[in-house]
Structure 1
């Protein structure tokens, strides 16, 4: 939801708050009514007088209009009978602050049960009158709660807890690389739209417990984390396709395509993190993408792309990758929390990178698609 923003969600807090939020044009990843959520990005770091990101102070909550912590990942487990299980997961918390209105905290939790061939998700939203957030001054890290779901973390050592019918997670995540500051310095500005800070932990080791239909399983895996915050609002209609790619040569790619309200691609972003953790922004012209298949939701009737060929030709990275969903149906219909419908799911990756065979895993987010 993402390098230049995943503008995560128009909040519903009763009719009066909803009207207020609609008037302020607030939206987030997964929200179909966006276009400036992922604004066009300069190939050079943004020059600004805003303060730089500091760790661990900026890991926690801020007194800004919009903020989210977003985790996706892949996990494996072996049950007591020796059967192998494979899963994808998504856990995201949003924070929306508007004047003296109550703070709004929507959250989504999803499990892609690859072994069963099933996708399950849940949504929550709480409102509360909260005191001022630490606003980048605390050294205590992340400490966010939506009901009994929680995200806690400090210096890339994070802990996730969430549950729904048939599934629950209790996971410890460890960052294996320094945080990647998007756009070079982790700061994006776009005129009247506002500004956003944005960083990712592109490779986190996962260990913990997954409760699968009351069966506790010890899981291991790899996750991706996004944290974005700022005084930004969205400016119009459209959508985007966003990809996080983790390859088995210890490199990562984040890319997205932004579409306007007519469906035309108006901006492309490619971020590459090498095996040593050094981050690069690659030129737009180095990327070519082809949709290989489509899938139509039996729930909403929306048709999404469902399989891609990605070609990147740059001195830092020469890659040809095929990306396939591990499940066709990974659609979230979350009108009760963020007022929107989007597809976000686990994918597998195969191809070549810098002349060598490569494999990997990742997540893809698709927004702005309508029936």
Structure 2
């Protein structure tokens, strides 16, 4: 749980990474290790900071925290002609602290929409390679899990028991630089760069229980965020990346403190031409329709939403439903936390006309201490 999304759901608030013990919990981007590492104090953002530059900034950076985050939807065909449908999540985090080697953690998940199952895996590695600003894109490896890309032409490969993906992605729209220049200053809390590729075509293959299937149709959403910023510790967020079938995309998130109070709200809309429009938070109204209690952790998550955007330029009402209730990741071995991130369906109205779509939602901070999912306003 970009998601945005990454500000993003992994995001704004994250990461005093690696300064916690293996037994502790955090957010996506907060990585645990078996040893206590040097704490990092928040420092004022340098002034002025240059804007994000693409494609130069596709590659790795020498900052405290960085990640490349993909979610998407795939349709593959069996030899018999039968179609199968999947959702996927694949992320790699990079963490730099003091003079220690770079630390990498990764999550890979498949939502098998046809079978009604959810499966995930996780990996981590301390790399002897010094992180750097890549000259041309990124080339990341955690064993045979790989992530490569430059200028919106990306390649992903990951495998776990029962499932594997080998995917080629091609951006259909320019990257959306959040805040206009891709720069989010936090003052004393540091700074972050963040952009999204909200619509990427996907080709390649998926292996499903030993059977290789070619991708007939696929679309993905990619988030890249990096910077020197710290975490608020015990908060959380709800993040939505919605790809509508009329060739527009919406990103919505709420960031909350430990009590559930909303600290920040974001509403972004990308039109069919690729123009990124930030809408006022006052135009967003979200209602939780259902809740779901995890049988694995006992955490209670919202599970179904009604989102209304009342801005006159883009009036929208959407119903968002999880493809599966259980899309929870317990990834304490790599990033020390638990979160829900899963495929959703979208239907509703836009400008008074019917619209449908697909999406992903990320939910963090729903620990046992918060046994009731709060409503949005």
Query: What TM-score comes out, normalization by structure 1 length?
Result: 0.90
3-state SS in 2 of match to 1:224: strand
> Which of 13, 35, 38 is 1:15 aligned to?
35
Do structure 1's residue 192 and structure 2's residue 188 form an aligned pair? yes
Structure 1 stretch displaced more, 232-241 or 108-117: 232-241
- Tell me how many residue pairs correspond in the alignment: 345
Summarize deviations over 1:54-86 as a string: whole Å, max 9, x none. 122100100000000000000001211222211
Measured in 2, the distance between the counterparts of 1:197 and 1:356 equals 36
Measured in 1, the distance between the counterparts of 2:321 and 2:300 equals 16
Q: Aligned residue for 1:55?
A: 54
**1:312 Cα offset (Å):** 0.2
**1:132 Cα offset (Å):** 4.4
> Which of 132, 148, 153 is 2:149 aligned to?
153
Do structure 1's residue 278 and structure 2's residue 298 form an aligned pair? no
Measured in 1, the distance between the counterparts of 2:47 and 2:268 equals 21
Measured in 1, the distance between the counterparts of 2:63 and 2:190 equals 11
Q: Aligned residue for 1:297?
A: 294
Structure 1: runs of 5 or more not aligned: 27-45
> Which of 339, 343, 356 is 1:342 aligned to?
339
Measured in 2, the distance between the counterparts of 1:344 and 1:317 equals 27
**1:229 Cα offset (Å):** 0.3
Q: Aligned residue for 1:207?
A: 203
Q: Aligned residue for 1:319?
A: 316
**1:144 Cα offset (Å):** 0.9
Measured in 1, the distance between the counterparts of 2:261 and 2:133 equals 40
Measured in 2, the distance between the counterparts of 1:74 and 1:85 equals 11
**1:130 Cα offset (Å):** 2.1
CA contact (8 A) 1:13 1:127 kept: no
3-state SS in 2 of match to 1:285: helix
Measured in 2, the distance between the counterparts of 1:48 and 1:90 equals 35
> Which of 232, 240, 244 is 2:241 aligned to?
244
Say if 1:153 and 1:264 are closer, same or farther in 2 by CA, change over 3 A.
same
Q: Aligned residue for 1:353?
A: 350
3-state SS in 2 of match to 1:15: coil
Q: Aligned residue for 1:177?
A: 173
Measured in 1, the distance between the counterparts of 2:131 and 2:342 equals 35
Query: What TM-score comes out, normalization by structure 2 length?
Result: 0.89
Counting only pairs closer than 5 Å after superposition, residues 123-138 of structure 1 correspond to structure 2 as 123-134=122-133, 138=135
Measured in 2, the distance between the counterparts of 1:131 and 1:66 equals 14
Summarize deviations over 1:146-199 as a string: whole Å, max 9, x none. 111011111100000000000000000000000000112110011111100000
3-state SS in 1 of match to 2:35: helix
Measured in 1, the distance between the counterparts of 2:312 and 2:41 equals 40
**1:47 Cα offset (Å):** 12
Measured in 1, the distance between the counterparts of 2:364 and 2:308 equals 22
**1:252 Cα offset (Å):** 0.4
Say if 1:132 and 1:323 are closer, same or farther in 2 by CA, change over 3 A.
closer
Q: Aligned residue for 2:115?
A: 116
Say if 1:145 and 1:370 are closer, same or farther in 2 by CA, change over 3 A.
same
Measured in 2, the distance between the counterparts of 1:241 and 1:274 equals 23
Measured in 2, the distance between the counterparts of 1:284 and 1:48 equals 27
Measured in 2, the distance between the counterparts of 1:59 and 1:158 equals 11
Moved over 6 A (4+): none
CA contact (8 A) 2:77 2:84 kept: yes
RMSD: 1.6
3-state SS in 2 of match to 1:185: coil
**1:316 Cα offset (Å):** 2.6
**1:266 Cα offset (Å):** 2.4
